Chains A and B, each alone.
Chain A
Amino acid sequence: MRARSVDRQALTRWLGIAALAAATAWMTFDARGFERLLRVLAPGETSWLYPTKPLTTLMAEQIWLAAAASALATAAGFALGALALTRFGIAFRDLVLSAGSLAQTVPTVALMALLVPLTGYGPEPVIIALTLYGILPIALNVISGIESVPPDVRDAATGIGMRRWQRVIRVELPLAWPVIVGGIKNVVVINVSAATLGAVVAAGGLGMPILAGFHDYNDAYILQGALPSIALALLADRLLTVRPRWERG
């Protein structure tokens, strides 16, 4: 019975992922089909597809912006979190924790705009801004994930003769993993939708039709940018929602 319910959970998850992936792919590659949907949703318009760039290019740019920023934020966040957990970083840990919540208060658009004079227009200010925005939540989850490992488990690991790195690799990281992945998920989902702001600094992406629609009072353009972005964000969310084996059943 137990095994069957586990299988059902996994099945539901993969069905959801497949449906979202199919929806995203359909909107991206079947321009004619997507246009028909947009005609239905915004019947008052005269043009339904953003003319400057095809959706395939916009989607690729969107994914690139979000993926680059998420990867950089993950790497840096991991390093920062790990550093804060070392013997030398303990003092520094509280700083990271408070800085983490503070950084969230800076508006992303403002940060991008401030970066433009330094980097010029293009994808760079977006990637840098989103990376900076994502580092601390990931570091925070690395810290709280490792700290959530029960002291008894840690004591047993040391007591049976694991070296520090063995304890980290075999016990602490696997146990902290769900929390860490949760942090990465939040950052990726935010980045997927926040990358639309890149249009403001000419970074391309799905924000371009949204911005154009805003300019031309064209709801179809806005939807053409927003719907694939939403589907992509949901897909990332589903993909990164994991439950470890040992917590199932």
Chain B
Amino acid sequence: MIEISGLTKEYGGHRAVDGLDLTVASGELTVLLGPSGAGKTTVLRCINRLIEPTSGTVCVEGVDVATLDPVELRRRMGYVIQNVGLFPNMTIRENVAAVPRLLGWDKRRIAERIDEMLELVGLDPERYGGKYPRQLSGGEAQRVGVARALAADPPILLMDEPFGAVDPLTRERLQREMRHLQARLRKTVVFVTHDIDEAVLLGDRIALMRDGRLEQHDTPEALWRRPANEFVRRFFGENLGLRVIIRYCLADVRLKPLEEGATALPRIDAGVTLKEALAELVGRRARALAVVRDGAPIGMFDFDVLLASLAEEGDGACS
């Protein structure tokens, strides 16, 4: 658990962060979202003490980080940044091994861990291990960045616009993989972005910031249903609902029973998100879709199902 209280950082009279209180529960991914200059990155960098706050405290598992050796602290937190920051002079293996080496792991354990991490982020250790960062594409480099951050199995992960510098298609893939990864690993993650879709897709909770202050910290659903103020409402705009449905898949909602003649309906897999299902309805100009799981139809999806699912409270579960 990360507890931030009264965090303030001043730069020459300007308050980049202004008395921020925020608690990130263990195993949750909290997105720090807001326009540029809102102080998101400053907050993130106060957690691993790359920045020392002017006042206020950051506690990790109940311990004030100001009382810890910053270097030891950072080794217990994975750190991923926008331009990856892979070490160009090291191979991919050496990059992933960086933190375990700092922690003094023995060679065999490090070697095993590198293979495990590269496989986890979908890179073949045989093919990629010996390459140098400049031989990778942006997306591949970013995966290595995530593998490096996870290598020492830190309970906490700090990510600063990790997918900001890759092309939209790759970004979408990385976001989806990140969602799967987080569903499996359940790290305590603080994730900085200014991309609303990314925040809604990945965040268990979103902390919306403006001018160094926290406007609202809640689940994406709650931000949509109950915005705390006009700024929150305006920031997310009218189509937040449309964005939020990306968090659910067909398997999560109550489908209609299949009617007679449903075999004629276009089919769609139960693992697909509501947003994609809606796009399918529109794209096929269909009234309803037959939802299938492992090839067998399990129910029917139409606009009524979508509306009914929106009426319910819930947390995003599709992963």
Contact = CB atoms under 8 A, between A and B. Distances in A.
A175 B89 CA distance: 6
A161 B102 contact: yes
Nearest to A164: B71
A246 B102 contact: no
Contact of A156 (B81, B89, B135): B81
Interface string A155-186: 11111111100100011001100000000000
A160 B79 contact: yes
A152 interface: yes
Nearest to A163: B71
A153 B88 CA distance: 8
B75 A161 contact: yes
B74 A153 contact: no
B135 A159 contact: no
B236 interface: no
Interface residues of B, number: 28
B84 A152 contact: yes
B268 interface: no
B102 A152 contact: no
A247 interface: yes
A158 B86 CA distance: 12
A4 interface: no
A153 to B, nearest CB: 5
A160 B84 contact: no
Contacts of B50: 155, 158-159
A216 to B, nearest CB: 54
B102 A166 contact: yes
A245 interface: yes
B88 A175 contact: yes
Contacts of A170: 87, 90
Q: Among B72, B74, B89, B102, which residue has the most Cβ atoms of chain A within 10 A?
A: B89
Given A159-B48, A161-B102, A246 B88 contact: yes
Contacts of B158: 159
Contacts of B83: 150, 152
Contacts of B79: 156, 159-160
Contacts of A117: none
Top-3 shortest CB links A-B: A156-B85, A161-B75, A161-B74
